[in-house]
C-alpha cells in the first residue's frame, strides 16, 4: 500500500496549547485512521474546541505537532493552508449560516474555497455548483427549502443546511464541534444519524466533540475523553458502558472535588 493510504488521517503528537496562564491542551496524543468516527468527550472548558481548531489551522500549537491528511498544519500558510482546509469540513454548534441568505446560497458558500472573486447572489454561481448544492440539500432532506431564508428554518434544519454546505467541499475529514448542543432531542438524533450515514457513504473520517456520554457511546466507534486539556481515556465504544466512562472520569475527578460537575454535565440527557 502507498504511504497515503496507511498514514493516519489525523496525527496529533504532544500537543500543548496555553493562553496566558491557562493550559487549554496538555501533551495531547491522538491518531485517527481513515474512516474512523471518533467523539471527543469532555466538560465545557476541557479543550474540545481548541483541539478541533488546531486540526484545521485556526489555532497554532504552543508545542507539539498536528498532522492532518499528511500535512503539518501549523506550518502551512496561504494557498496550501486553504487547500488543506478545503479537504476538511467543519460544522459548529451555532450553525454559522448567513441568516438573510437563502438556504441554497448558504450551501453554495461551501464551494467558495474553490472559486475566485466575490459572490453576489445566486446568479454568480455556475450551474454545476447549483446542481450539486441542490443534490446535497436533497441528501439532508431539505430540497423543498432551497429558496427560503436560512433564518426561517428550525435549529435542526439549519444544522442540516450546514452539513450540506460542508459537503460542497467534498471533504475527506469532517470536524463537528458540539453540533447538537443547541438542539432538542429529536433534532439531535436526526442530525447525528445523518452525519453517520453521510460519513459512511463518503468514507469520511469524523471527529465530533460532545459532552454527553450516552450519545457518544451510541454514536461513535471510539471515544477520546478530555479533562483539563489532557486525554484521560481513549477507548473503542464496542462493549463500553456509561459506568466505565464515568468510573474513569470519577477516578480523575474525585481528587479535585469535581465529580458533581462531571456527573451533571456528562450525564445530561441529550436536549
Secondary structure percentages of the chain, helix, strand, coil, to 5? 45, 25, 35
* Min separation Cβ 92 and ligand ADP, Å: 11
Q: Which of 38, 40, 43, 49 binds Mg ion (CB under 5 A)?
A: 49
**Residue of closest CB approach to Mg ion:** 49
Return d(Cα 163, Cα 174) in angstroms, integer. Answer: 9
Q: Which of 22, 114, 154, 218 binds ligand ADP (CB under 6 A)?
A: 22
Q: Which has the closest alpha carbon to 180: 168, 165, 195?
A: 195
Q: Which of 29, 44, 151, 218 binds ligand ADP (CB under 6 A)?
A: 44
H-only helix segments in 86-171: 103-108, 127-139, 155-167
Q: Which is nearer to ligand ADP, 26 or 158 (CB)?
A: 26
Question: Grid coordinates 469532517 are at which residue?
Answer: 174
Query: Is 46 a binder of Mg ion (CB under 5 A)?
Result: no
Beta carbons within 10 angstroms of residue 101's beta carbon: 18
Which partner in Mg ion, ligand ADP, none is near 42 (CB below 5 to 8 A by kind)?
ligand ADP
Q: Are strands 22-32 and 173-177 parallel, antiparallel or unpaired?
A: unpaired
Question: Grid coordinates 464551494 are at which residue?
Answer: 111
Which partner in Mg ion, ligand ADP, none is near 147 (CB below 5 to 8 A by kind)?
none
Residues in the chain: 271
Q: What is the DSSP letter of 148?
A: S
Q: Which of 42, 61, 89, 156 binds ligand ADP (CB under 6 A)?
A: 42
Which partner in Mg ion, ligand ADP, none is near 47 (CB below 5 to 8 A by kind)?
ligand ADP
* Min separation Cβ 250 and ligand ADP, Å: 19
Interface positions with ligand ADP (CB under 6 A): 19, 22, 24, 42, 44-50
Amino acid at each position: 500500500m502507498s504511504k497515503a493510504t496507511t498514514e493516519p488521517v489525523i496525527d496529533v503528537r504532544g500537543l500543548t496549547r496555553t493562553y496566558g496562564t491557562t493550559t487549554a491542551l496538555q501533551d495531547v496524543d491522538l491518531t485517527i485512521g481513515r474512516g474512523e468516527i471518533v467523539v471527543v468527550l469532555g466538560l465545557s472548558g476541557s479543550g474540545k474546541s481548541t483541539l478541533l481548531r488546531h486540526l484545521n489551522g485556526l489555532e497554532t500549537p504552543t508545542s507539539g505537532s498536528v498532522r492532518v491528511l499528511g500535512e503539518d498544519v501549523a506550518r502551512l500558510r496561504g494557498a496550501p493552508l486553504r487547500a488543506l482546509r478545503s479537504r476538511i469540513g467543519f460544522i459548529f454548534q451555532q450553525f454559522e449560516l448567513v441568516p438573510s441568505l437563502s438556504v441554497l446560497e448558504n450551501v453554495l458558500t461551501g464551494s467558495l474555497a474553490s472559486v475566485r472573486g466575490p459572490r453576489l447572489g445566486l446568479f454568480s454561481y455556475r450551474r454545476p455548483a447549483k446542481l450539486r448544492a441542490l443534490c446535497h440539500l436533497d441528501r439532508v432532506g431539505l430540497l423543498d427549502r432551497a429558496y427560503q431564508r436560512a433564518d426561517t428554518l428550525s435549529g435542526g434544519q439549519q444544522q442540516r443546511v450546514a452539513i450540506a454546505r460542508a459537503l460542497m467541499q467534498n471533504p475527506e475529514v469532517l470536524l463537528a464541534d458540539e453540533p447538537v448542543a443547541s438542539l432538542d432531542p429529536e433534532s439531535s438524533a436526526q442530525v447525528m444519524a445523518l452525519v453517520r450515514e453521510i460519513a459512511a457513504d463518503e468514507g469520511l473520517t469524523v471527529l465530533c466533540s460532545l459532552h454527553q456520554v450516552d450519545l457518544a457511546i451510541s454514536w461513535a466507534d471510539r471515544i477520546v475523553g478530555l479533562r483539563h486539556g489532557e486525554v484521560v481515556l481513549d477507548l473503542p465504544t464496542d462493549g463500553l458502558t456509561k459506568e466505565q466512562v464515568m468510573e474513569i472520569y470519577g477516578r480523575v475527578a474525585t481528587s479535585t472535588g469535581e465529580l458533581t460537575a462531571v456527573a451533571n454535565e456528562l450525564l445530561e440527557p441529550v436536549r
